[in-house]
Amino acid sequence: MILDGKCPTGPIEKTWDKHRFDMKLVNPSNKRKYKILVVGTGLAGGAAAASLGELGYNVEAFCYQDSPRRAHSIAAQGGINAAKNYPNDGDSIYRLFYDTIKGGDFRAREADVWRLAQVSNNIIDQCVAQGVPFARDYAGYLDNRSFGGAQVSRTFYARGQTGQQLLLGAYSALARQIKAGTVKMFPRTEMLDLIVVDGEAKGITVRDMVTGEIRSHVGDAVVLCTGGYVNVFYLSTNAMGCSVTAAWKAHRKGAFFANPCYTQIHPTCIPQHGDKQSKLTLMSESLRNDGRCWAPKKKGEKRGPNEIPEEERDYYLERKYPSFGNLAPRDIASRAAKEQCDDDRGVGPGGRGVYLDFADSIKRLGEDTIRERYGNLFEMYEKITDENGYKVPMRIYPAPHYSMGGLWVDYNCESNVPGLFVLGEANFSVHGANRLGASALMQGLADGYFVIPYTIANYLAKTAPGKVKADNPECKKSVDDVNNNMKKLISINGKKTVSEFHRELGKIMWENVGMARSDQSCKEALKKIPVLREEFWKNVKVSGSGAQFNQDLENAGRVADFLEFAELLTRDALYRNESCGGHFRVEHQMPDGEAKRDDENFCHAAAWEFKGANAEPELHIEPLKFENVHLAIRSYK
């Protein structure tokens, strides 16, 4: 099937305004008759639930943590982009649009990206009004910094805790609506199924993580804002609870999964220290504003960093990409780091690391300025590594970080299942094959504050409120299915723990479908994943029962879904026989090692339809048209 993204036509700068006018509205007095289920209360879901509640809809919101304030958006450090052009350095909506399309290696829909750039400015205003303490200069004006993939300074920040402050802004707006009674919040509640009635999304089945109760909630529309899936690699910068579960359950109920192989490996993470490690820690890319990446020129170098003289250091990003230097986009910076290590010039344990050096900036600006800019990152680095980054260069290595792929949505953020909307990292929409720094926070808030309030009305206006009742047979069936799945997991009583399976899966994925992929490695993974999945269902050991607080069981369900999803991700990586952005197929590279796209055959989104856990999924294609940005080879030289 050829998918239609339902993009408005006409001059791109008018598309969103025109579309907003063309969409249907729900009369103010009718809004409270509609119930909207918002799953996930990170930036996307928190902003959506608060805004929809404020409009007068009857909202129920869910998250798995004990409070909506703890969604993983909280961990974003660096900043959020907007096309304000406050520094007067040549920024504009068009430039942000252009940078995002190019950064994504021409694999995103133009109209969606334009809208993102257009509303980016409203986001900053909104957050300021909420009391988000963005950095200011001495005159009281908002301050900016630079991020990878841009030559203008358009990133707004709140120390090294921008995600935290933006999330707390959305959380406070949500708190206001909870108090007002328009939003009912269900923390410690995990969605484990989507309820589809007559082809439309009308509810979800959840597990109360405290009591273990499984129950369904019905509504007139479902909005999934459940974040990303890179924990499929086991070690990543995501939180321990981040999973593909909600998206995967929706996929199993008919929602197409688009471009799952687009995963982002972030260049500036703290290298792994051992095999008992549970996660990797990111240090904001903003560090690359003042830190210089280098590796020793000599293979197998044994000297400490401060003993290696200047002329024996290879500042490889500055050498290879003179115009962007240390601010080259993430996919490029990550691969360059891997290249150094593969060339036996890596540093630290196992040679899996490169240096990020602040000595020059400290000389130029003083340690205090560096401390003011990144103090918390240096502190975090020291806690984990026991090293002082002001005195010795930091060691960094790439780590799985973000998922550009996600559930397929049209221009309205609606999936192919009517009534199912998907926002934030959970959808596939705007970042193409590579996301630029400071653009995910922007997308989450754009979707939640400024897109869904309009587009959901267009759907609701065409449906009668309360069509599906709690006693619908689909609800009972869904609850039974979830219950049975839980029972099955517990009854296996095998020999291996859930974490052991997760670790093994992660290893298969990282080695075969990680930073570099090939026809052969993908096929290898496609052999191994089903075997591991089969073993899981025969030999996993899950403790306790379903009718209690049971973290082992929660985790088992998530890993079970990753074991299915991993196969789809790999299949997509095998199918996409080109390199683009974060998807690097070793067979397709330029003579200098850059990613080589194949626009003739792959200038499209690949959206997969579920056909059964052990059956081949069906591929649907949405062709991408570039009418405003010239389809060109991405160059950061």
Partner 1 sequence: MSHDKTMNLTLHVWRQKGPKDPGKFEVYDAKDVSPDQSFLEMLDEVNEDLIKAGKDPIAFDHDCREGICGMCSQVINGMAHGGQDRTTVCQLHMRMFKDGDTIYIEPWRARAFPVIKDLVVDRIALDTIIQAGGYTSAHTGGIADGNAILVPKPEAEYAMDAAECIGCGACVAGCPNGSAMLFTSAKVSQLAVLPQGQAEAARRVKEMTETLQECGFGNCTNHYECQAACPKGINVKFIAKLNREYLKSLF
Ligand X SMILES: Cc1cc2nc3c(=O)[nH]c(=O)nc-3n(C[C@H](O)[C@H](O)[C@H](O)COP(=O)(O)OP(=O)(O)OC[C@H]3O[C@@H](n4cnc5c(N)ncnc54)[C@H](O)[C@@H]3O)c2cc1C
109 among known catalytic residues: no
Q: Report 245-284 residues binding ligand X (CB under 6 A).
A: 245-246, 282, 284
**Closest CB to partner 1 among residues 126, 512:** 126
CB of 66 or CB of 342, closer to partner 1:
66
Picked from partner 1, ligand X, none, the partner binding residue 4 (CB below 5 to 8 A depending on kind) is: none
Count CA within 13 A, CB hemisphere, residue 371: 7
Give the shortest CB-516-to-partner 1 separation in angstroms. 26
Measured from the CB of residue 227, what is the shortest distance to partner 1 in angstroms?
12
Contact call for residue 5 and ligand X (CB under 6 A) = no
Residue 269 tokens, joined:
């993470």
Instruction: Check residue 100 for interaction with ligand X (CB under 6 A).
Output: no
| 332/148 Cα distance (integer angstroms) | 10
Position 632 contacts partner 1 (CB under 8 A): no
The DSSP result for 23-55, as a single string, is S----HHHHTT-EEEEE--SHHHHHHHHHHHHH
Q: Which residues pair with 204 in a beta bridge?
A: 194, 217
Query: Which x/- pattern over 153-192 shows residues binding partner 1 (rule: CB under 8 A)?
Result: -----xx-x--xx--x--xxx-xx-xx-----x-x-----
Cα(635)–Cα(637) distance, integer angstroms: 6
Length, in residues, of the chain: 637
Could you give the CA distance from residue 105 to residue 92 in angstroms, rounded to a whole number? 20
Largest CA distance in the chain: 74
Q: Determine if 302 is a binding residue for partner 1 (CB under 8 A).
A: no
**Should residue 530 be labelled a site residue for partner 1 when binding is judged by CB under 8 A?**
no
138 is a site residue for partner 1 (CB under 8 A): yes
Q: Using CB under 8 A, pick the residue from 22, 276, 307, 310 that binds partner 1.
A: 276
Which amino acid makes up residue 529? I
Chain residue at closest Cβ approach to ligand X: 42
Q: Which stretch binds ligand X (CB under 6 A): 57-65, 332-340, 478-486, 528-536?
A: 57-65
Contact set for partner 1, span 559-618 (CB under 8 A): none
- H or E stretch at 577: none
In a 10 Å sphere around its CB, with 0-12 CB exposed, 13-18 middle and 19+ buried, how is residue 494 labelled? Answer: middle
Which of the stretches 129-137, 292-300, 470-478, 617-625 binds partner 1 when contact is defined by CB under 8 A?
Answer: 129-137
Q: CB of 213: closest distance to ligand X in angstroms?
A: 14
Contacts of residue 277, defined as CB under 8 A and 6 or more positions apart, other chains included, come to 235
Nearest to 233 by CA among 517, 11, 609, 442: 517
Identify the residue among 402, 602, 608, 610 touching ligand X (CB under 6 A).
402
**Alpha-carbon span 406 to 248, nearest angstrom:** 10
Residues 201-230, interacting with partner 1 (CB under 8 A): 210
**Residue 608 phi, psi dihedral angles, 5° rounding:** -105, 140
**How many residues of this chain bind ligand X (CB under 6 A)?**
47
- Residue 43's binding partner out of partner 1, ligand X, none, with CB under 5 to 8 Å set by partner kind: ligand X
CA distance 38 to 61: 5
Residue 65 is a binding residue for ligand X (CB under 6 A): yes
Q: Given candidates 440, 452, 525, 542, which one binds ligand X under the rule CB under 6 A?
A: 440
SS3 142: strand
Rule CB under 6 A: choose which of 72, 84, 533, 588 binds ligand X: 72
Give the span between the Cα atoms of 113 and 430, in whole angstroms.
5
Q: Tokens at residue 212, please?
A: 């273990």
Site for partner 1 in 76-95 (CB under 8 A): 84, 86
**Closer CB to ligand X, 73 or 416, in the complex:** 73
Residue 22 sits in the site that holds partner 1 (CB under 8 A): no
Looking at beta carbons only, is 130 or 518 nearer to partner 1? Answer: 130
Locate 102 and state its tokens. Answer: 């190019």
Is residue 219 at the binding interface for ligand X, with CB under 6 A as the rule? no
Residue 365 interacts with, from ligand X, partner 1, none (CB under 5-8 Å by kind): none
Q: Which of 69, 154, 330, 571 is catalytic?
A: 330
Which entry of ligand X, partner 1, none binds 41, CB below 5 to 8 A by partner kind?
ligand X
* Cβ(408)–Cβ(428) below 8 Å: yes
Among 9-17, 68-76, 400-408, 508-516, which window interacts with partner 1 (CB under 8 A)?
A: 68-76
Report what 159 binds from ligand X, partner 1, none; CB cut-off 5-8 Å by kind. Answer: partner 1
Q: Which of 17, 89, 125, 368 binds partner 1 (CB under 8 A)?
A: 125
Q: How far apart are CA 470 and CA 218, in angstroms?
A: 6
Q: Phi/psi of residue 295, each to 5°?
A: -135, 155
Query: Which residues lie across from 416 on neighbouring strands?
Result: none
Of 275 and 592, which CB lies nearer to partner 1 in the complex structure? 275
Handedness of CA 19, 21, 22, 25 (dihedral sign): positive
| Helix ranges (DSSP H) in 495-598 | 498-513, 519-539, 551-575
Residue 555 partner contact from partner 1, ligand X, none using kind-dependent CB cut-offs of 5 to 8 Å:
none
Residue 163: CB minimum distance to ligand X, A: 5
CB hemisphere CA count around 143 (13 angstroms): 14
Strand extents, DSSP E, 270-351 = 292-296, 313-314
User: End-to-end distance of the chain based on CA atoms, in angstroms?
Assistant: 39
Handedness of CA 490, 491, 492, 494 (dihedral sign): positive
User: 101 touches which of partner 1, ligand X, none (CB within 5 to 8 A by kind)?
Assistant: none
> Please, are residues 436 and 265 in contact by the beta-carbon 8 Å criterion?
no
Residue 190, interface with ligand X (CB under 6 A)? yes
Query: How far is Cα 602 from Cα 600, in angstroms, rounded to an integer?
Result: 6
Residue 134 sits in the site that holds partner 1 (CB under 8 A): yes
The nearest distance, CB 76 to partner 1, in angstroms, is: 9
**Nearest distance, CB of residue 318 and partner 1, angstroms:** 27
The one among 36, 37, 38, 76 contacting ligand X by CB under 6 A: 76
Tell me the window of 249-257, 447-455, 507-515, 562-570 that interacts with partner 1 (CB under 8 A): 447-455
Which of partner 1, ligand X, none does residue 518 bind to, with CB < 5 to 8 Å depending on kind? Answer: none
* Cβ neighbours for 303, distance < 8 A, ≥ 6 positions apart: 296
- Residues serving a catalytic function are 330
Q: Which residues bind ligand X (CB under 6 A)?
A: 39-45, 62-65, 71-73, 75-80, 162-163, 190-191, 225-228, 237-238, 242-243, 245-246, 282, 284, 401-402, 424-426, 437-441, 444
